[in-house]
Structure formats: structure tokens, C-alpha cells
Amino acid sequence: MVIIEVSLLSGFVVTSRSRMLLENRTIVKKIEVKANVVYIYLEKLNDESQTFILQLEQVIQVKNLKPASIKIYDYYQPGGLQISCYSGVGS
């Protein structure tokens, strides 16, 4: 099982529509939202490229918004961790 762990930008929440669209993908086993982190559980990955779009809604205006992290790792072997960062559109 592969986990995509998306830390949310400060002042943002994931939209319910975005959650629903992700849950309808056959590769997605489960989605959890805890505090400011979204966990997307995938059954497995193969060599095909995958694109995941997570729509966020700003609920609080935050100055000097810092990038947030995305971590991708195997649930059973978390040592092969991949980390990327993202920032808000227009920030």
C-alpha cells in the first residue's frame, strides 16, 4: 500500500468535491483528513504516471504563506520516502 501525505497550506481546507473526485478513482483505497494533513491511501502503484488533483479552499487569510510538503511512501517500507513541496496558486 502506498500513502500520499499532503500537508495543507496554512489557512486552507480540502474541498468536499475534491475528496469525492479522489474517492471515485479505482486506485484510491481510502482518504483520511486529520488536522491539517490529507492521507490518500493507494492499493499499489505501477509504472504508469498518475496525477492527483487536490482542490483547496482558503478559509483564513495568512500572510507570508510558506510552502507545504507532500510525502509519498510505501506503508510497509517507509524508508523509501519521497518529499516534494508546493505553494498556493498565485502566491
pLDDT at 18: 85
pLDDT at 91: 44
pLDDT at 39: 95
pLDDT at 11: 92
pLDDT digit string (tens) for the chain, length 91 residues: 899 999 999 999 999 898 888 888 888 999 999 989 999 999 887 788 888 888 899 999 988 888 899 999 988 877 777 888 888 754 4
Phi and psi of 66, rounded to 5°?
Answer: -95, 150
Q: Which residues are paired to 31 by β-bridges? A: 40
CB neighbour class for 75 (10 Å; exposed up to 12, middle 13-18, buried from 19): exposed
- What's the whole-model pTM score? 0.82
Q: Which domains does the chain have, with CATH numbers?
A: 2-86 (2.60.40.690)
Q: Which amino acid is at 4?
A: I
